Amino acid sequence: EKAINLKKDLAEMQEWMTQAEEEYLEKDFEYKSPEELENAVEEMKRAKEDVLQKEVRVKILKDNIKMLAAKVPSSGQDLVTELNVVLENYQLLCNRIRGKCHTLEEVWSCWIELLQYLDLETTWLNSLEERVQMAENLPDKLDAVNDALESLESVLRHPADNRTQIRELGQTLIDGGILDDIISEKLEAFNARYEELSHLAVSRQIVLEQQLQTMRETDHMLQVLQENLTELDRQLTSYLTDRVDAFQMPQEAQ
């Protein structure tokens, strides 16, 4: 009777493993939305816990069959053979569910990381847009133009590492057919805004550089002119002080 019960337990265990495999490993998931992906991750976590909880039952079943085989070798040997098959299938099921759970957790982590990088770069783009707007309609003063140019250039020196991460993470998920529509839409919008603002910022930078160069040249010319006028004023004042008649001086002094 004990052998019959153990055989029944083995059959039930094998049936449970078959159902678990069908439910957790043979489903085709498309993950077209973050909610679907998150739900799949949570489901696989529960599946892993459920399978691992059966480990105690498997161990008890194993011990009981070995005890029976030791006492009654004739009836226990067949059970040992069936047990080995169940143990092998159970270990395989555990490994596959662990593997799928780990994969889904990695995919979810990849998605969250992508969102974080997009958020960082969007913040940078907002800052770039703000600096570009501040560089418009500036007062006609050298300091104001120079400050605006330095401010814009400091933002443009932003490293490209984050954009590289966005491209690689996005492509990895898209290649896996995961959230591909949503990610493609996000990347397309981000890249379009990046290209537009970058082009606008570089154009504004060139204008400011040209404006600054012109203002510096004009400022230099005014400085030279001021120095010449000061020298001329000094000479004329000297002539007047010495009561020199203008007609006695060179033509330029007259």
Q: What is the pLDDT of residues 153-181, one digit of tens each?
A: 999 999 889 999 999 999 999 988 889 89
Q: Is the pLDDT of residue 65 over 70?
A: yes
14 to each of 10, 59, 134, 193, how far by Cα in Å? Answer: 6, 14, 71, 56
Task: Give every CB contact of residue 249 below 8 A, 6+ residues apart in sequence.
Answer: 239
Task: Tell me the per-residue pLDDT of 81-124, one tens digit each, with 9 for 90 and over.
Answer: 888 899 999 999 999 999 999 999 999 999 999 999 999 999 99
What domains does the chain contain, in order, with CATH numbers? 1-211 (1.20.58.60)
Identify which has the larger pLDDT, 254 or 38: 38
What's the confidence (pLDDT) of residue 95?
Answer: 94
Q: Is the pLDDT of residue 254 over 60?
A: no
Closest CA relative to residue 205, chosen from 121, 132, 143, 112:
132
Mean pLDDT of 127-154: 91
Q: Specify the residue for token string 């400085």.
A: 223
86 to each of 1, 19, 67, 249, how far by Cα in Å? Answer: 21, 14, 17, 122
pTM more than 0.75: yes
Identify which has the larger pLDDT, 219 or 243: 219
Task: Tell me the per-residue pLDDT of 235-251, one tens digit each, with 9 for 90 and over.
Answer: 888 877 876 665 666 65
pLDDT band at 201 (very low <50, low <70, confident <90, very high): very high
What's the confidence (pLDDT) of residue 250?
Answer: 61
How does the average pLDDT of the chain come out, rounded?
88
Task: Give every CB contact of residue 116 below 8 A, 6+ residues apart in sequence.
Answer: none
Q: Is the pLDDT of residue 68 over 90?
A: no
Tokens (6 digits) for 77 = 């040997």
Mean pLDDT of 38-52: 91
In angstroms, the CA 151 to CA 127 distance is 11
**Full DSSP string of 139-201:** -S-HHHHHHHHHHHHHHHT--SHHHHHHHHHHHHHHHTTSSHHHHHHHHHHHHHHHHHHHHHH
Tell me how long the chain is: 254
